[in-house]
Amino acid sequence: MGEAIRRGATGALASLVVALAACESESIIEPGPDTGPLTAYIDGEAFIAETALVDRLQTHIVVTASSGDRSLRFEFPDLGTRNYVIGPGNPVIAEVTIGSSTWRADETTGNGTITVRESIPSYLAGSFDVRLEGSDGSTMALTSGLFVIIG
């Protein structure tokens, strides 16, 4: 009986080590001069934007970021610092494009949150975690996202 418990404990310990290793592979990448203005994980793979822009329209903010053939786009009401929830009744959009394929989260598909922590005309900072859907029904996770965009 003691051996069965030990084996079970060893299996649980091995599962914990695997789980911790998975968590470590998606550690936070802080945006900045040595990385980029926007960082995230796209289905577990690090994304560090080479460029990011904020376009303040009359009532909305549009954030675009890109690196190589991968780009992200967010659109949300310009209501200051708050959580912008993606889902029914909320005019919040997130898109990821890789090559010619696009995944989207909006009022009818996907879900998530874009959090704006600071917002002034020349500076936007915050975080995001979003689940997006492709037109083919595939899903994508956009996780541990951070942005600090100046200009």
Q: pLDDT tens-digit profile of 4-58?
A: 433 333 333 333 233 333 344 567 777 776 667 999 999 999 999 999 999 999 9
The DSSP H or E segment spanning 138 is none
pTM of the model: 0.80
| E runs forming strands in 12-122 | 38-42, 45-48, 51-56, 60-67, 70-77, 82-86, 93-98, 101-105, 111-120
* Tokens matching residue 34: 């040595």
* pLDDT value of position 5: 37
User: What is the average pLDDT across 80-100?
Assistant: 97
* pLDDT value of position 57: 93
**Cα 151–chain centre separation:** 21
Q: What is the mean pLDDT of the chain?
A: 84
Half-sphere exposure in the Cβ direction for 75 (13 Å, CA): 12
